[in-house]
Amino acid sequence: MRTSLSDLLATGRVLLADGATGTNYMVAGLGPGEPPEFWTYDRPDDVMRLHQQFVDAGADIILTNTFGCNPHRLKLHNAQARTYELAKGAAQLARRVADAASRPVVVAGSVGPTGELFEPMGALNHDDAVASFTDEIRGLLDGGADVAWIETMSSPEEVHAAVTAAIACGMPYVVTCSFDTAGRTMMGLMPGAMADTLAAEPVAPLAMGANCGVGASDILVTLLEMDGAPHALVSKGNCGVPHFVGTEIVYTGTPELMAKYATMAIDSGARIVGGCCGTTPVHLAAMRAAIDAYDAGSRPTLEQIVEQIGPLTNAVPAENAERRTRRSRG
């Protein structure tokens, strides 16, 4: 029962994207430094099992196992020549799960950052970045992905390069950035400037928003800063805040907290809600139930977010706070 993201958005309902890939693989045995992308061929049953668990939990959108599937990331494992192969294979696995579902499920081709800095701060230039993303996105397209899901970006230059590649491949796309540095991305992009960054692209995104970063409270504040964006908004927040318990990383978010986060994300303007690091199928099922039982609420305040979800990990930058104050006065 294949569908497109634009068709699902056209229904007007809130869509549920899936949860974490890497942290769930770690629980299943992914070793330190081991690239998850290799599991597409080394442990395909485990890759499909996680996709299926997210579909069973109610996901409308599942992301392929390709977050680091670009030549710059794969070269760390001498696998840069496998970019297309790994991307296509991962999309094929997700496609099999989506096609077997009893309801429409979109396969989103995960396109993560290269891990490199752009000139003049680093060595990466636009043409090289576009070529890198094109190799991956071609594989995703040929493997059956419905949309390029460009995620966890921090620099406008890298966003532009990934979008250029998606458009060249003829794929619709979504962009989410990680606002993990005092309310900005690592490279200084503010949430309120994201729509302007995408406005110059010849083909508009199907959706834009935020993912990962820090805790669920912070991503809700980020959503508030995107108020008025001309595109559907995405919120794919981490499952609470990570901390060490012995040698293991544990996320503080409970299913109940993530359910509350989901409804507050909707009240903050999100049309697509999901989880990022630490979000398991159990958390996602709680989010599905909360979304299905959702009654429209009012736009939350910063104080309500902190009270109900927890304290911010990052300080709200002065520019953000001033914008929020002006809106509340108006």
Neighbours of 68 (CB within 10 A): 21
- Give the per-residue pLDDT at 112: 98
**Which tokens in the block code for residue 115?**
């891990």
Q: Which domain does 21 fall in, by range?
A: 5-329
Q: Which residues have a Cβ under 8 Å from the Cβ of 314 and sit 6 or more positions away?
A: 180, 181, 182, 183, 214, 218
Q: What stretches in the chain show pLDDT beneath 50?
A: 319-330
Please give the pLDDT value at position 315.
67
DSSP letter at 12 equals -
Using an 8 Å Cβ cutoff, are 73 and 110 in contact? no
Q: What is the pTM of this model?
A: 0.94
Direct distance between the N- and C-terminal alpha carbons of the chain, in angstroms, rounded to an integer: 46
What CATH number is associated with residue 155?
Answer: 3.20.20.330
Q: How many structural domains are present in the chain?
A: 1
Residue with tokens 């620099």: 155
The residue type of 202 is P
Residue 248 belongs to what H/E stretch? Answer: strand 248-251
Count of C-beta atoms within a 10 Å radius of residue 34? 15
Which tokens hold the place of 242? Answer: 């990570």
**Beta carbons within 8 Å of 212's beta carbon, 6+ residues apart:** 151, 152, 178, 180, 236, 237, 238, 276, 277
Q: How far is CA 21 from the centre of its chain?
A: 11
The phi, psi pair for 164, rounded to 5°, reads -60, -40
- Best CA proximity match to 174, nearest among 201, 141, 145, 209: 209
Tell me what pLDDT residue 24 has.
96
Question: Taking each helix axis from N to C terminus, what angle separates 126-143 and 156-169, rounded to the nearest 10 degrees?
Answer: 40
pLDDT of amino acid 317? 53
pLDDT at 296: 86
- CA dihedral over 57, 63, 67, 69, signed as positive or negative: positive
Q: How many residues does the chain have?
A: 330
pLDDT at 325: 39
Q: Answer whether 150's CB lies under 8 Å from 175's CB.
A: yes
Angle, alpha carbons 207-211-214 (nearest 5°): 155
Cβ atoms of 294 and 37 closer than 8 Å: no
**Placement of tokens 């949309």 in the chain:** 147
Q: What Å distances lie between residue 129 and 71, 142, 205, CA to CA?
A: 10, 20, 19
Query: What are the distances in angstroms from CA 63 to CA 18, 24, 237, 297?
Result: 7, 13, 14, 29
C-beta atoms surrounding 222 within 10 Å: 31
From the list 156, 155, 165, 153, the residue with the least C-alpha distance to 128 is: 165
Residue that has been written with the tokens 């508009």 in this structure = 204
